[in-house]
Amino acid sequence: MSHTAEIQGIVEQVYKKYRNHDEGEVATYIPELAKANPDHFGICMFTVDGHMFRCGDWDQEFTIQSICKPFAFQMALEEHGRDHTLAHVGVEPSGDAFNSIELDPRTLRPFNPMINAGAIAVASLIKKSPVEAGIQAFVEKMKLAAGRNLTIDEDVLASESLTGNRNRAIAYLMLNFGIIDDAVDHSLQQYFAQCSLRVNCSDLAMMAATLANMGTNPFTNTRVFDFQYVKDVLTVMFTCGLYDHAGEWAYRVGLPAKSGVGGGIIAVVNRQVGIAVYSPRLDAKGNSVRGILACKELAAQLGLHAFEFSNVGSSFMQSLL
């Protein structure tokens, strides 16, 4: 059996192992998200040298939600550089929930760009006038990362905007401390629209593979992200990507990652692989239950943990050579 068939076999095995695992609840605080089919489950992996592995509902569409955050942070760094961006958002894990209404008491900045406060500060940095121009710039960048056409889910956007008062509270707190300017609604619209981008598991894996490949989409060969900032993004994903589960994740899975309440989760094996899992049942922290289980299992079986002692170029990659 070829190595690629063997890896496809492992992906299918992981899928089968968790297919009937039904712990967790679909998000309902954004009413439109409650319509997701809780049974959907897809896994997808792309390597930087063009191998593709997918299984289950990999083509089922859902909204990206918080997985927009690392990509928006990348865009802020590209547009404003490190000093200006970091004047508005820190890189410290908060240890608190993604939607916590708080700033770092020492710096009065949001803790990091992976929680809502930090992501709204980042959205404020990359917004444009008119509002549609900033949203379009984000969508265009994400299309390049996914290598296909993507659109905003207008129903989710309306639903999130209607019920997003907690995010409004966070934004006004930041206005009070001078972290964002007074175009509060504009920044929130940018943020809500980013979260409402429709993707499937395959798109997310391609985006993750683009990060793994230092900013160049490995399938289209388009340079999407400025490589000098990809390491900033991966670092913050590593330390803060799963909110108050980030330490446990780094310990057990050992990969930079990001989850979203739509049920998606991405993980990046630096210079090697992009991984995505979709399963909308979430745990109490807002992370996909089967997403975490599947990533844990893939990392263990393929030797993907960043500090795996045999990871001299992971055993996964070596098996493809």
Catalytically active residues, by annotation: 66, 69, 191, 243, 261
The residue at minimum Cβ distance from ligand GLN is 66
Q: Which of 260, 263, 280, 291 binds ligand GLN (CB under 6 A)?
A: 260
Closer residue to ligand GLN (CB): 153 or 160: 160
Closer residue to ligand GLN (CB): 218 or 256: 256
Question: How far is 294 from 43, CA to CA, in rounded Å?
Answer: 8
Closer residue to ligand GLN (CB): 169 or 310: 169
C-alpha count within 13 angstroms, C-beta hemisphere, residue 273: 27
Contact pattern from residue 66 through residue 85 relative to ligand GLN, giving x for each residue in contact according to CB under 6 A and a dash for the rest: x-------------------
Amino acid at 249: W
Verify binding: residue 190, ligand GLN, rule CB under 6 A. no
Verify binding: residue 272, ligand GLN, rule CB under 6 A. no
Least Cβ distance, residue 66 to ligand GLN (angstroms) = 3
Q: What are phi and psi of 15, to 5 degrees?
A: -60, -50
Closer residue to ligand GLN (CB): 116 or 217: 116
**DSSP summary character for residue 66:** G
Instruction: Say how many residues touch ligand GLN, by CB under 6 A.
Output: 11
Verify binding: residue 93, ligand GLN, rule CB under 6 A. no
Query: Cα dihedral angle (153, 157, 163, 164), rounded to 10 degrees?
Result: 130
> Which residues 6+ apart lie within 8 Å of 272 measured at CB?
47, 48, 212, 313, 314, 316, 317
Verify binding: residue 202, ligand GLN, rule CB under 6 A. no
Verify binding: residue 36, ligand GLN, rule CB under 6 A. no
Q: How far is CA 198 from CA 142, 152, 160, 189, in A?
A: 10, 6, 14, 16
CB 70 within 8 A of CB 236: yes
Q: Which residues bind ligand GLN (CB under 6 A)?
A: 65-66, 98-99, 116, 160, 167, 195, 260-261, 286
